[in-house]
Structure 1
Amino acid sequence: MPKTACLIGHGDLVIWFEGSAERLRRSFAAVGITQFIDEQALPDQRGPVILVRADAVIDGPLVKALLEAPGSVLLANGPHQGTPLAAHATSDFPAAAAVLREEPGVAMPTGLQPVRAAELGASYWKALRKREEPYALLPSPHDLAQTEWRMFMGTYKGATDFVTKWLWPRPAFYVTRLCARLGITPNQITALSLVSVIAAFYWFWQGSWWLGLLAGWLMTFLDTVDGKLARITLRSSKFGNFFDHSIDLIHPPFWYLAWGIGLQQGPLALAPDDLAIVLTVIVGGYLLQRVIEGISIWRFRLEIHIWRRVDTWFRLVTARRNPNLVLLTLATVAGWPDVGLAAVAVWTAVCLLLHGLQLVQAWWATRNGQKLRSWMTEPD
C-alpha cells in the first residue's frame, strides 16, 4: 500500500473547528501514510501516491478503502456529486493532480478509473456495526452546517438502543460541537460520565429516585457524546476506548442493586425474598446476556445483534441500560419505583430467553452448513 500522500490545492475551510487540510493529514496518517509531499515534487515521485483535494472531507472507511484500490479516483457524493476528490495513482501523478484540480480539457489519465464511494466496498463499517454509504464531500461555507451534521451522524452505530438512536442525536450534536470548540477532550467527558455513574449509584442507594435518574440519564447522554467527540475530532485512543467501555460494562448491575437497597429504606420495601429474586434475575440476566454476546463473537465471529434485521431491531429495546432506565423512569413518574424494578426484572428475563433463542438458531444454522454473515453485508 502507498505510504505517501499529496494534498492538492488549499484546505482553508474550517470544519469542526479544524482546517480541512489538517483533518485529511491526520485521517491518512491514522491508516499508515507516513509522508506528505508538495505538488511540486510529484514529477519526481516513485511509487504509488494518494492524491487528495485539500478541501475534501472523506469518511474514515473510504480513507482505508482508497489505499487498497490502486487506480481509483474517488468521486464526491452529496451536493457536489461526481466531482473527483482523491486518487490512488501509480504513475503520471501530475496528470492525476490536474484531474483533481478540475483543469479545463483534462481527460482521465490511462490507468485511473472513477468510482463512487459505494463501489469501494466500504458501505459496511464493521467498527460501527452499520451499513450506509460513507461520505465523500466537497463542502462550502454555505452548506457547512449540513456537512458537519452528516459527519456527526456518520459516527453513530447502526445497532443500538432507541434512546441513543432517536432521542440523543440532535442535543448530542450541539454538545459535541461545544466541546470541540472549547477543546474539551473525549476522556474528560468520560471522566465526567464516571462521576455521574457514582452519583446515580449513591442517590439510588438513598432512595432519591429523581436525583439518581437525573445523574443516570446524564451519564447515558455523556456516553453518547464522548464517543462522538472522539470520532468527529479524530481523537480516539486505545485508553479512551478501554476507559469508556469498562464503565459501560461494569456499572449497570450496581445501579440495580442500589435501587433495590433504596427501596428497602422507604414505604415501598419489598419482602427480602422477593428483592433477592428480582435482583438475581436482573443481575444474572444482564451477565448471561453479555455471555451470550461473547459466545456469538467467539463461536460465530459475529455480533448477535447484527446477524438478521430482526436482531438489529430487537437491539433497540433489549434489556440494556437505556431501555431499563426508561422503565424505571416511567414507574417513578407513576409513583411506583418498586414496580419499575420488577418491570426491569421481567423484561430482562424475557430478553434473556430471546437472546438464548438467537444463539440456538445461530448454532443450528452453522450446524447445517450456513456461514453466518451480517445482513448489513448483503446487497439491498
Structure 2
Amino acid sequence: MTSAERLARSLRRAGVTDIRPWTGTVVPGRRHLLVRDDHVYDAVLIADLAGARNVALASGDGRPVAAAVDAETAESAVAMLMQGAPLPAGVRAVTPADLSSAYNNALRKREAPYLLPLTPETLTDVERRMFAGSYKGVTDLVTKHVWPAPALRVTRWCAGHGITPNAVTWLSLVLVLLAMLAFWQGWFLSGLVAAWGMTFLDTVDGKLARVTLTSTKLGNVFDHGIDLIHPPFWYWAWIVGLGAAGLPLSDPGLVLAVVAGGYVLQRLQEGLFIALFKLEIHIWRPFDSWFRLITARRNPNLLLLSAGALAGRPDLGMLAVAVWTVASLLVHTVQILQALRARRKGRLQSWLAR
C-alpha cells in the first residue's frame, strides 16, 4: 500500500475520523494532527500523537516530521514540517522515545518505537524493521528463533498478493485437521509435516495482520481460538495412532489424562496469574520469559514428538511430552507461589517495563 494509505489506517485505528491530504485549509476549533507521508511510523507513535497536544515529533536527524497542534498553530506547524521553519511558539519537540514507551505489553517485549525515512533505497530495511516490530518478544523457541526469516518472506508475499490474515488462518485450520487425521492413522511423519506447517502459518497470520494494519477482533478470536483448542486433540489422536502403528502405550488413558489435562491446567494457571496479579506469568521476571521458550506448550511438545517419530519411537515421544507437562506444571506452581509472596511487598511489575 502507499505510505498515505498506511497512515490513514493507522490514524483510523487511533480514533481519528477526519483524514485528508493537507490543502492549506484550517478548521477552526479543531486539533490538527499533521504527518509527513515520506516516513514510516510505528503504530504506537500515531496513537500517542493522536492524544498529544502542542508537540512536534522529530526524526533521528532532529527534523520534525509530524505535529499535533491547535488550529491557531496549524499553518506555522505546516511551514515547520514542509519548509524547515522554526518550532511554533508553545510547541515542544519530542523524539519517539519521549513520546511513546518502549514497553509493549500486547507483544510482550521492550523495543524502541520506529520512525524511518521511506525511500526506494530504504524500503527493504523498513520492511524488515516493521516485521520485527510485529513479532512477540516472549514466545517459544521455534517461533522466536526458527520462523522469523521464512515468515518474513511469506508475509511479504501474502501482502503483495492481497491475501488476508483470515485466509491464512483458515488454511492453518485445514492443516490442524489434516494433522489430527494423520496422527489418528499412525502416519506420524506426515502428520508432523502438517502440524509444523500449521505452526508456521500461525506465525504468519498474526504478523500479516499487524504489518498491514488489518487485524480485527473477530480475526483475533478466530486465530487464538484455534490455538487454544487444538493441542489436546492432537495428543489424543497421537495416542490412538500409536495403537494403529503397533506401538500402543501400556496405559493410554493415563497418558492422555496427563498431557491433555496438564495442558488445560497450565492454561488455567496462566489465567489465574493474570487474575491475581494483572500480569502475564511469562513476563514477570527474566526466568519466566526464558521458561516460556521451552514450557510444555504446542511447539516445544512438537519438538519432543518429532524427535520420537524420527527415531522410530513415537511412543517415547508422547511419554516425553507427558513427563515435560508434569514438570512444567510444577514450575508454574512455584512461580505462582513466589508471586503471592512477592506481592506482599507491592504490586508486581514486568521486568520488561522497568
Q: 1:108 matched to which residue of 2?
A: 87
Q: Judge conservation of contact 2:44–2:100 (CA < 8 Å) in 1.
A: no
- Written as runs of structure 1 = structure 2, the 5 A alignment for 1:185-334 is 185-271=164-250, 273=251, 275-334=252-311
Distance 1:297 1:92, change over 3 A: same
**Aligned counterparts of 2:108 and 2:151: Cα–Cα separation in 1:** 20
Q: 2:345 matched to which residue of 1?
A: 369
**Aligned counterparts of 1:43 and 1:34: Cα–Cα separation in 2:** 16
Q: Judge conservation of contact 2:165–2:209 (CA < 8 Å) in 1.
A: yes
Q: Judge conservation of contact 1:75–1:85 (CA < 8 Å) in 2.
A: yes
Tell me, yes or no, if structure 1 residue 73 matches structure 2 residue 73. Answer: no
Q: Of the candidates 94, 99, 107, which is equivalent to residue 75 of structure 2?
A: 94
Deviation of residue 324 (structure 1)? 0.6
TM-score, scaled relative to structure 1: 0.90
Q: Judge conservation of contact 1:62–1:122 (CA < 8 Å) in 2.
A: no
Q: Judge conservation of contact 1:263–1:269 (CA < 8 Å) in 2.
A: yes
Q: Judge conservation of contact 1:28–1:63 (CA < 8 Å) in 2.
A: yes
Tell me, yes or no, if structure 1 residue 33 matches structure 2 residue 16. Answer: yes
Q: Cα RMSD over matched residues?
A: 1.3
Q: Judge conservation of contact 1:123–1:133 (CA < 8 Å) in 2.
A: yes
Structure 1 stretches lacking a partner, 5+ long: 1-17
Deviation of residue 277 (structure 1)? 2.1
Q: Judge conservation of contact 1:42–1:93 (CA < 8 Å) in 2.
A: no
Give the AA of the match of 1:144.
L
Deviation of residue 37 (structure 1)? 4.1
Tell me, yes or no, if structure 1 residue 356 matches structure 2 residue 337. Answer: no
Shifted more, 145-154 versus 259-268: the winner is 259-268
Q: Judge conservation of contact 1:256–1:282 (CA < 8 Å) in 2.
A: yes
Equivalent position SS for 1:365: helix
Q: 1:82 matched to which residue of 2?
A: 62
**Aligned counterparts of 2:125 and 2:136: Cα–Cα separation in 1:** 20
Give the AA of the match of 1:373.
Q
**Aligned counterparts of 1:62 and 1:320: Cα–Cα separation in 2:** 33
Q: 1:10 matched to which residue of 2?
A: none
Deviation of residue 228 (structure 1)? 0.8
1:201-245 residue CA offsets vs partner (Å, 9 max, x unmatched): 000000001110000000000000111111111111111111000
1:143-180 residue CA offsets vs partner (Å, 9 max, x unmatched): 10010010011101111111111110110111111111
Tell me, yes or no, if structure 1 residue 21 matches structure 2 residue 21. Answer: no
Equivalent position SS for 1:213: helix
Q: 1:56 matched to which residue of 2?
A: 39
Q: Judge conservation of contact 1:164–1:224 (CA < 8 Å) in 2.
A: yes
Shifted more, 174-183 versus 211-220: the winner is 174-183
- Written as runs of structure 1 = structure 2, the 5 A alignment for 1:77-156 is 77=60, 81-90=61-70, 91-101=72-82, 103-104=83-84, 106-156=85-135
**Aligned counterparts of 1:344 and 1:205: Cα–Cα separation in 2:** 17
Q: Judge conservation of contact 1:332–1:340 (CA < 8 Å) in 2.
A: yes
Q: Judge conservation of contact 2:69–2:77 (CA < 8 Å) in 1.
A: yes
**Aligned counterparts of 1:235 and 1:144: Cα–Cα separation in 2:** 20
Equivalent position SS for 2:134: coil
Deviation of residue 69 (structure 1)? 2.4
Deviation of residue 39 (structure 1)? 2.8
Equivalent position SS for 1:92: helix
1:317-374 residue CA offsets vs partner (Å, 9 max, x unmatched): 11100111111111211111111001111111111100111111111112x1310111
Shifted more, 238-247 versus 326-335: the winner is 326-335
**Aligned counterparts of 2:261 and 2:192: Cα–Cα separation in 1:** 22
Q: 2:139 matched to which residue of 1?
A: 160
Identity of aligned residues (%): 51
Give the AA of the match of 1:285.
G
Deviation of residue 42 (structure 1)? 4.1
TM-score, scaled relative to structure 2: 0.96
**Aligned counterparts of 1:303 and 1:330: Cα–Cα separation in 2:** 30
Runs of 4+ in 1 over 4 A off after TM superposition: none
Distance 1:341 1:109, change over 3 A: same
**Aligned counterparts of 1:326 and 1:119: Cα–Cα separation in 2:** 42
Give the AA of the match of 1:88.
A
1:241-291 residue CA offsets vs partner (Å, 9 max, x unmatched): 1100000000000000110010012232111x2x22222111111111100
Q: 1:46 matched to which residue of 2?
A: 29
Equivalent position SS for 1:110: coil
**Aligned counterparts of 1:82 and 1:254: Cα–Cα separation in 2:** 55
Q: 1:345 matched to which residue of 2?
A: 322
Equivalent position SS for 1:40: coil
Distance 1:108 1:251, change over 3 A: same
Deviation of residue 38 (structure 1)? 4.3
**Aligned counterparts of 1:165 and 1:191: Cα–Cα separation in 2:** 23
